[in-house]
Amino acid sequence: MQNRNETQKGYRGGKRRHHPMSLACGLAVGIIALVPANAPAQGIPSTIWSSSGAQYDTGFAPSVAVSGVVVVEVHQAGTGVGPLWYHTGKIQENGTVVWAAEVFQFENGISPSVAISGDTVIEVHQAGTGVGPLWYRTGKISATGTVTWSKNAFQYDNGIVPSVAVSGQTIVEVHQGGSGVGPLWYHAGEIQTNGTVKWDASPFVYDQGIQPSVAVAGATVLEVHQGGTGVGLLYCHTGEIQANGTLAWATSAFSYDSGILPSVAVSGPEIAEVHQGGTGFGPLWYHSGGLQYDGTAGFIVPFSYDTGVAPRVAVAGPTILEVHQGGTGVGPLWYRTAAY
């Protein structure tokens, strides 16, 4: 990777060293800007997390999306290729989630990722282990909270660990092209009135790394990823959806923290990012942030909000919803909410 700020946030005595400033990654000009961590006027909000989390299911590799107060969560049943399940819920005024009594299998595969726009759900996943077909499936959320899925899933690309986001009818998907550190690809598409997706003819490389996660707010795209294997620098990369549906990415990505398995969500100007601080079961870290008036993305210094593995985050309006594994293998899945 070229032209990146290589200043790494260090560790001391087992605790993260919090810096008094927050990083902003540039949208078009690729310039690092520093803004005070207590600068809500720039669109960076404070966050209040619920006092504790709660178990909502059992499984592996969860992903979550929120539309208004409606929650759609997907996860693997086991660690290998097999049933993928979805679980719906409704966010209450007190910030808790009332989850549906039943979960349902909707597909087979691994590494699912889900997004919502209105009442339309789009889910992407790997068909098998290793680099190979990536599949998508769409659905509609009913008044009862269940999802009516399309009859079939369809292949749209090849790769591993896909992540999907949607704004209106526009879909942005990112994934690794190979099994190690290397090209990260994006693939844009548009949801059709019949529920299918018209994908662009070709995907494009936008960066290098592993474990990408993507979010969209209006025409602004925010992506985060690991720079390498193991605990190390995490990078953010911004882009803008063009009138023709393609993406114009910032010249460079910039490091904003250290860790693994980052996940990002955006609602309006508010950004929520979560990641593991290290390998295995341990502290989960959260960054609040804001899309700035000049198109950059600003992050406030992180703090630990929970413990677990593989966190994933969604945000809708003032509500943040996070899900994670309670351990390193198949087992309890937990959720936690927060509010701006």
pLDDT at position 17: 30
The answer to whether the beta carbons of residues 269 and 287 sit under 8 Å apart is no
Q: Is residue 263 part of a domain?
A: yes
Beta pairing class for 303-316 and 297-299: unpaired
Q: Is residue 13 part of a domain?
A: no
- Residues 6 or more apart whose Cβ sits within 8 Å of residue 101: none
Enter the tokens of residue 308.
């677990």
Q: Which of 25, 1, 72 is nearest to 273 (CA)?
A: 25
Alpha-carbon dihedral sign for residues 138, 142, 145, 146? negative
Q: Is residue 34 part of a domain?
A: no
Q: Is residue 26 part of a domain?
A: no
The answer to whether the beta carbons of residues 320 and 313 sit under 8 Å apart is yes
Q: Which domain holds residue 280?
A: 45-339
Q: 174: how many CB neighbours lie within 10 A of its CB?
A: 27
Q: Is residue 31 part of a domain?
A: no
pLDDT at position 195: 84
Enter the tokens of residue 232.
């190390």
Number of domains in the chain: 1
CA distance 110 to 21: 38
pLDDT digits (tens), the chain, 340 positions? 333 333 332 222 233 333 323 455 654 333 223 233 333 334 555 789 999 999 999 999 999 999 989 999 999 999 999 999 999 999 998 889 999 999 999 999 999 999 999 899 999 999 999 999 999 999 999 888 899 999 999 999 999 999 999 999 999 999 999 999 999 999 999 999 888 999 999 999 999 999 999 999 989 999 999 999 999 999 999 999 998 888 999 999 999 999 999 999 999 888 999 999 999 999 999 999 888 766 678 888 899 999 999 999 999 888 999 999 999 999 999 999 998 8
Q: What is the CATH number of the domain that holds 62?
A: 2.120.10.10
Helix (H) or strand (E) holding 22: strand 21-25
pLDDT at position 318: 87
- Widest CA span in the chain: 56
Q: Is residue 6 part of a domain?
A: no
Enter the tokens of residue 217.
């707010």
pLDDT at position 12: 25
pLDDT at position 92: 92
The answer to whether the beta carbons of residues 60 and 311 sit under 8 Å apart is no
Q: Is residue 1 part of a domain?
A: no
Q: Distance between alpha carbon 73 and the CA centroid of its chain, in Å?
A: 12
The answer to whether the beta carbons of residues 47 and 337 sit under 8 Å apart is no
pLDDT at position 317: 85
pLDDT at position 16: 35
Beta pairing class for 204-217 and 197-199: unpaired
Q: Distance between alpha carbon 338 and the CA centroid of its chain, in Å?
A: 16
Q: For residue 53, what are the β-bridge partners?
A: none
Q: Is residue 17 part of a domain?
A: no
The answer to whether the beta carbons of residues 272 and 265 sit under 8 Å apart is yes
CA distance 223 to 235: 8
Instruction: Phi first, then psi: give them for residue 40, nearest 5 degrees.
Output: -60, -20
CA distance 181 to 232: 13
CA distance 59 to 75: 6
The answer to whether the beta carbons of residues 247 and 172 sit under 8 Å apart is yes
Q: Which of 56, 65, 5, 59 is nearest to 319 (CA)?
A: 65
